[in-house]
Structure 1
Amino acid sequence: MNRIVVLLLLLVPGLAAAAREPAQYTLRYDAASRVMRVSLCLDRAAARQRFAGDATAPDHVRDLSRSSGASLQRDGDGWNARDWRAGECLRWHADLGRIADANAHRSSLRASETITDPGGWLLMASGIEAADASVELPAGIAMSAPWTPLPSPDATRRYRIVHTPTDWLARLAIGHLSETTIERPGGRLHVAIGGKSDVAQRARLLAWLGRVSDAATTAYGRLPLADVQVLVIPVGAQREAVVFGQSTRGQGNGLSLFVDPSRDARAFERDWIAVHELSHLFHPHLGARGAWLAEGLATYLQNVLRARAGLLTPAQAWAELADGFARGRAATPRDRAPTLEHASLAMETDHGYGRVYWSGTAYWLVVDLELRRSSGGRLGVDEALRRFDACCLAKQDWTPQAFVERLDALLGTDVFARRWHEYRGLAQFPDIPALDDPADAAVRAAIMRAKDRSDAKSKAKD
């Protein structure tokens, strides 16, 4: 080995890890039994190697063994392997059908595919940040995962799996899925449509997703992430075209959309959920404490980006925001209300969605207005997100405070952190600036107007 390379490996800690071959998963799925057989091979030796998934993994993993024949020791929600050998493999299988059926019983939304959270059965090795996976599927069976696709010389599917905290949700679907890739500046949406929708329904769904992805690019000219899983799950006849959506961060970036594919194109045009979920791609994972920031940004952008893309008129977008603020204020307790940050932490148990979402939306609107007024229109929320995308979005572990402070640093302002300190401690719904003030007419028009694409391209090179 070149002496310079040896010195670099010794002196730069990260380089030594990067020089190793990544951990290697092999996954083989049996459609008849709905069982996934997995092996995980590591090229490095270790005195003690730990393997774990999320808290449910011990209930889902079966027939766990080492290729060397050595023993494993159970340790809480994982297993320890002593004297792990370089090149050794861990092997197990998981009954995905049983896991998916158990999950389905707890939901009112039914799907024909086998859908699981891989955190519950895909064990990860401690000390490994990412791994490559090869997946073998029976003929006629497809898979949708949040993992990044890699080139493959044959029919075997290959992916890069990023290891994320085990409590971050992910969705993996296996079944008779229809697959399409939607290419847009900055990234690709890997779309998988489940169910038995006919050709016309699939065409309608893809046309709708194309318009939705176009809307996302109006933030600053491109998608913020290179590869995004989009899982479209038909759930039968519903009152709305899209009944539920969810963005996920586990093992990659994904979103799930539960739809009634029989609805006509006009019903899908009225949907806001898909743009909302795509808007979550513009910020990092912020946890429960930062849910008001995350949901507020997605709610703000779901209206702004639809107006920019022509899915709403600017007047309709402002009316949607005004109506949402009224509902958020009505959902905020008048007496002894917790702070917004505490309401955010308790949102899932207290169902305080209206207050949390719309208080957060008010934050982003107030920040956007202040930035645009003080900079003569040069700066705004979308410019801050563009710069954050360029430097920092790929980093996983952002606290809410670190996130807003970095946005300020990128723009040379203090508005994000100053307003964050103010809003997180609010015990009531925030004051909303007048949405019809003539003095702000030009600023409001600029918020709802998409920037010229050539301008966006030039800024992307900054």
Structure 2
Amino acid sequence: MKEAQPAEAHYINFAELSKAQQATVNTWVNHAIHATEHALGQLKQSHIIIELYPKYFTLEPVPWASVIRGNQDGVELHFNRYASAATLIQDWTLYHELAHLYHPLFNYQDFWVSEGLATYLQNVIMFNAGLISRAEFTHRLWSGLQRGKLQTRSINHKLYAVTENMWSLKAQQRVYWTGAAFFIEAEIALNSQRSPRYTVSELLKQYQKCCRSQNMQAKAFMSELDKISQTAIFSNLYQKYKARTDFPTITKEQISQLHF
């Protein structure tokens, strides 16, 4: 059987870079695609549009990025044109954006699902690629949950309402990390299953093969994950989370013991 080929990067604005910078970007992007597909399975699409916006003055390797949705989904990258490949590879941003390509575009009130999934998975991808240790994996998730918990004290409306007004409320910590907590809690529940036993990553691999679509309600996405896992974990958690006003309780020990 012919081995599946990784998704190929198709660049926009590549010519704006010097030959050396092109080589750096190629190394970075190809590493990220390989690491992501290793963790989450092969993407359904054969190529990924990578729209490049190199910056001269920025304190961060990748100050901003976003997903481009269309017939072929892609990623818009704003990055420090002088950053080394090693520095860019260690940055979490591209793994986060590539993780978004594994789920459909949801309605805005359900962006807590998409941002939570990508936030959780960026750490799974980086751990599997050997970029962070298990201790660092636990630390990053635990620290993020604490930021989300802190912001929930002052922004304690229903989650879907907060998500719809995330930018005006500046509620990114509440939205992203409640969503991440959702998938951590789902992972904990999956870990407790005897048979069949899946992880969130394994479910996404199967989802790419059977059910991936461009647009889907988050509720329907949960139903598909439930069908694959032969559980009701995701639908039940979705009903529990979407209108909650508190922050979920997840312990550091639970994160450290996750099988993903």
Q: What TM-score do you get using the length of structure 2 for normalisation?
A: 0.91
Match of 2:124 among 289, 296, 304: 304
Q: Tell me what 1:412 maps to.
A: 230
Residue equivalent to 1:342: 161
- 1:445-456 map, 5 Å: 446-447=259-260
- Output one character per residue of 1:249-289: Cα deviation in whole Å (capped at 9) or x when no partner: 13431110001111223421331110000000110111202
How far did residue 375 of structure 1 move? Answer: 3.0
Higher relative contact order (CA 8 A, sep 6+): 2
Among 295, 302, 319, which residue is 2:115 paired with? 295
- Matched ranges for 1:63-78 at <5 A: none
Q: Distance in 1 between matches of 2:19 and 2:238?
A: 48
Contact 1:194–1:233, Cα closer than 8 Å, also in 2:
no
Matches within 5 A, 1:56-205: 185=5, 187-194=7-14, 196-205=16-25
**Is the strand fraction higher in 1 or 2?**
1
Structure 2 residue aligned with 1:333: 153
Partner Cα separation in structure 2 for residue 332 and residue 372 of structure 1: 27
The corresponding residue for 2:240 is 422
RMSD over equivalenced CA pairs, Å: 2.1
Contact 2:66 2:76 in 1 (8 A): yes
Is it true that 1:277 corresponds to 2:94 in the alignment? no
Question: Alpha-carbon deviation of 1:218?
Answer: 2.3
2:193 is paired with a residue of what secondary structure? helix
CA distance in 2, matches of 1:331, 1:195: 42
Residue in structure 2 matching 1:357, options 176, 194, 212: 176
Q: Is the 8 A contact 2:32 2:89 kept in 1?
A: no
Counterpart CA distance in 1 for 2:239 and 2:99 is 23
Q: Which runs of 5+ in 1 are unaligned?
A: 1-183, 448-462
SS in 2 for 1:230: strand
TM-score by length of 1: 0.53
Contact 1:191 1:231 (8 Å CA) reproduced: yes
Rg (Cα) greater in structure: 1
2:134 & 2:13 partners in 1: Cα distance?
A: 32
Corresponding pairs, count: 258
Tell me how far 1:200 sits from its aligned partner. Answer: 1.9
Identity %: 28
Secondary structure of the residue aligned to 1:304 is: helix
**How far 1:186 sits from its partner (Å)?**
5.0
Question: Displacement, 1:329?
Answer: 1.2
Determine the C-alpha separation between the residues in 1 that align with 2:85 and 2:92.
14
SS in 2 for 1:219: helix
Q: Distance in 2 between matches of 1:287 and 1:255?
A: 19
Match of 1:383 in 2: 202
Q: Larger % of helix: which?
A: 2
